[in-house]
Amino acid sequence: MKALPLAGPELELTLKNRFLGKSTLVLFLSLLAIMLMATAIGAVDVPLFTTIKIMVNQLPFLSFKGWSQSDEIIILTLRLPRVLLAGFIGGGLAVSGAVLQALFRNPMADPGIIGVSSGGALAAVIALATGFASIHPLALPAAAFLGSLGTLFLVYAIAARQGRTPVNTLLLSGIAVGIFMSAVLSFILTRIDSATMLRELFFWLMGGLDGQGWTHVQVSFWPIFTGSFLLLFFSRDLNLLYLEGTSGAQALGMNVGLVQGALLILSAIITGTAVAFSGTVPFVGLIVPHVIRLVIGPNHLSLLPATFFLGGILLVSADLAARTLAAPEELRLGTITALIGVPFFLYLLQRGRNRFPH
């Protein structure tokens, strides 16, 4: 029997799904393209075709030749791990921002709003100032990660009342704890006499991926990738929270406390890992989810992957700009994202485009 042609709502839904699939695919391919370009471009440019051959040559049974050993070191040891790390971190920060914007029903929410970034930064500064960071290459990331996670549990404990965690209370608690963490961090900085140490601390606080290698890529990949993947299983919950709020979602049968806790923990794991390896990189979690939501809508099953890919594109591009705009000097990654993010944030304030119902 010949199938009847689609019409009406079915046709509209099919076309919409195809558009969302193509949009996500385009973003994924764009991320691969910008990562390849960022690996080839730098203080010493390596031809794009040579860059591809160097990377493909790592596969078994292949043996290309025709480049210098210095080119291979630049691509495989210096640039490729840094570019991959930028992609992971940008995607993770963007996904965390999307989750928090849905949870708080506020387009201006980002991972820093509940104090997670401030807690990670404070722990990292303490590790650097006390010399703990010099014990092992992963000591600094571990301290920042534990600081982020500890701050989350503190905020959650302050906001929770009788098994419930009102979103507004959680938001205000996060802001208050974040301000307190920043004040403690400022106090520590004023007590440091070493100019070299202060320079190192300020450089870390302004964000950057310099000096990161394959060990950092391997350690950061699993928390960010696993956390982002697990968030996909909460897509329906995020849609309900975004559209109905906590009261409406609870009326529809959601265990709001359990879902809130899971979403916050996964977001903190992703954000803590990102802060641990890149320092403070602002506005990625604010800009990217908002742009994706305007383009493809609020369905988090398609929004989260698209947000991850666009976040990677943004941070890889920002890191490329940080490496090349003032070469051979290097700008700080947080400076680049702030230059992009502040005008966008002011635009949101000016337009007052709060699409979340109250």
Residue 329 lies in a domain: yes
Contacts of 37 (CB under 8 A, 6+ apart): 48, 320
- Which residues on neighbouring strands pair with residue 161, listed in sequence order? 164
Q: For residues 311 and 91, is the Cβ–Cβ distance under 8 A?
A: yes
Residue 2 lies in a domain: no
How far apart CA 235 and CA 16 sit, in angstroms, is 18
Residue 9 lies in a domain: no
Cα-Cα-Cα-Cα torsion 58, 60, 64, 67, nearest 10 degrees, comes to 20
Q: Which residue type is seen at 28?
A: F
Of 50-64, 72-86, 108-122, 344-358, where does mean pLDDT reach its minimum?
344-358
**pLDDT exceeds cutoff 70 at 98:** yes
268: CATH: 1.10.3470.10
Q: Report the SS3 class of residue 131.
A: coil
How far apart CA 331 and CA 79 sit, in angstroms, is 16
Residue 59 lies in a domain: yes
**pLDDT exceeds cutoff 50 at 47:** yes
Per-residue pLDDT tens over the stretch 210-264: 888 898 899 889 899 999 999 999 999 999 988 888 788 888 888 888 898 899 8
**pLDDT exceeds cutoff 50 at 107:** yes
pLDDT at residue 19, rounded to an integer: 61
Beta carbons within 10 angstroms of residue 56's beta carbon: 10
pLDDT at residue 341, rounded to an integer: 79
Residue 212 lies in a domain: yes
Provide the domain limits for residue 346. 17-351
Residue 190 lies in a domain: yes
Average pLDDT score over the chain: 83
Per-residue pLDDT tens over the stretch 188-218: 888 887 777 788 788 878 888 888 889 889 9
Residue 266 lies in a domain: yes
Q: CA distances (Å), 106 to each of 5, 139, 210, 245, in order? A: 41, 35, 33, 11
Give the helix ranges, DSSP H, for the chain: 8-40, 48-56, 69-73, 80-104, 116-130, 139-159, 167-190, 195-205, 214-231, 235-251, 256-278, 284-296, 300-324, 333-351
pLDDT at residue 164, rounded to an integer: 63
State the total domains in the chain: 1
Residue 234 lies in a domain: yes
